[in-house]
Amino acid sequence: METTLLSITNDFYNSYFCKNDICVSVDNDYFRPFVEIPDINGNIKLYISETYSYESLKLNNTLSKKCFGEICISHKCNNDSECLYNKCIDSYCIFNDKAPITHCDNIYLGHRQSYTYCGKAYGDICNSKDECSSKKCYDNTCGMSTDGPSDSETMPSDAFIYFYYSIVAGVVVIKKQ
């Protein structure tokens, strides 16, 4: 499935988590602290996707819940199997290099062109940008993939394309005469 994702181009603001070669689309801005991934039998399993590096845990740079107005959702874990990366330490899900997890992002090239790249997720430890699904590694931490076309960046309209090719065809005809 991950191979199929790598063939996706010109798609924007989408991310994917893959576990054991089963991939699911997730929100690009990591807004939801949970992800549902089917197992090989098709049974849906809910995992805590809010994951921290062990270093963040040691520095107490973690959150135990996300709040949306008056509603708060806890994402503390009780055991490893609740965590997407299969590692729960002190009630927090921690990145685990041994877990069969890959994260994929759209890498924006500009001019409404992108490709999909897979690697480590946002917040994981990195030594180079090529390790991160976002192709962004800052201070040894994978950054978020937030690049994409702006609202003002539009695709050429069909009328413009027709007009452009009409002019090109007209120039070719004139040159042949």
Q: What is the pLDDT of residues 33-78, one digit of tens each?
A: 889 999 889 999 999 998 999 888 888 777 777 777 888 888 899 9
Distance (Å, rounded) from C-alpha 6 to C-alpha 10?
11
Distance (Å, rounded) from C-alpha 122 to C-alpha 106?
13
Interacting residues of 104 by C-beta distance below 8 A, sequence separation 6+:
2, 5, 6, 15, 16, 17, 18, 23, 116, 117, 118, 119, 133
Per residue in 75-107, pLDDT tens?
Answer: 899 999 999 999 999 999 999 999 999 999 988
Boundaries of every domain in the chain: 2-142
